[in-house]
């Protein structure tokens, strides 16, 4: 992600980038309680969802499903003591957001990578309570 941020001319310094949701279960659908349960349902307590308005040219969007495929491959590569190889096709699909605009809503989960979180970009904060009941 850092390499892509740099390739796209987004400023990047020594701090890690910020990861956020752009779309959950549909293009431009905001994350909700179901999203929080799916990601953190094992946890218990209050969380917050910070809503941001960031200009499109200041974020890097990617396909969350393909990102997970790459992460799983990375774990396998590490376990097998071999280098991670990401195919050109996977990399192209990872950042091809246009194709996701026309997918079925359940297949659209888009993550956003920001080089920095700017307080001026915050437009809302919503409290989310997790009960720790979600079982996988």
> Is residue 33 one of the residues assigned to a domain?
yes
Q: Residue 63 and residue 22: Cα distance in Å, rounded?
A: 10
Q: What is the mean pLDDT of the chain?
A: 84
| Whole-structure pTM value | 0.80
Domain limits at 116?
Answer: 2-131
pLDDT value of residue 123? 92
> Is residue 106 one of the residues assigned to a domain?
yes
Q: Residue 73 and residue 64: Cα distance in Å, rounded?
A: 14
One-character DSSP codes across 6-49: HHTT----SSPPEEEEEEESSTTPPP-HHHHHHHHTT-EEEEEE
Q: Structural domain tally of the chain?
A: 1
pLDDT value of residue 120? 93
> Is residue 81 one of the residues assigned to a domain?
yes
% of residues, the chain, pLDDT over 70: 96
pLDDT tens per residue across span 73-109: 999 999 999 999 888 888 888 998 888 888 777 778 9
One-character DSSP codes across 59-105: -EEEEHHHHHHHHHHHHHHHHTT------HHHHHHHT-HHHHTTS-G
> Is residue 97 one of the residues assigned to a domain?
yes
pLDDT tens per residue across span 3-45: 888 888 887 777 788 889 888 888 888 887 777 777 777 777 7
User: Using an 8 Å Cβ cutoff, are 58 and 112 in contact?
Assistant: no
Choose the most confident range, by mean pLDDT, from 31-40, 57-66, 124-133: 57-66
> Is residue 136 one of the residues assigned to a domain?
no
14: Cα within 13 Å, side-chain hemisphere? 0
> Is residue 117 one of the residues assigned to a domain?
yes
């Amino acid at each position: 992600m850092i390499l892509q941020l740099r390739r796209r001319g987004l400023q990047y310094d020594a701090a890690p980038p910020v990861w956020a949701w752009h779309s959950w279960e549909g293009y431009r659908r905001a994350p909700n309680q179901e999203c929080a349960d799916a990601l953190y349902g094992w946890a218990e307590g209050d969380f917050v969802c910070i809503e941001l308005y960031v200009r499109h040219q200041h974020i890097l969007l990617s396909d969350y499903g393909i990102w997970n495929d790459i992460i799983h491959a990375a774990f396998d590569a590490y376990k097998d003591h071999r280098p991670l190889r990401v195919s050109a096709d996977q990399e192209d699909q990872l950042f091809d957001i246009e194709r996701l605009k026309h997918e079925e809503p359940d297949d659209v989960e888009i993550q956003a990578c920001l080089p920095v979180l700017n307080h001026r970009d915050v437009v809302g904060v919503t409290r989310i309570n997790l009960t720790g009941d979600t079982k996988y």
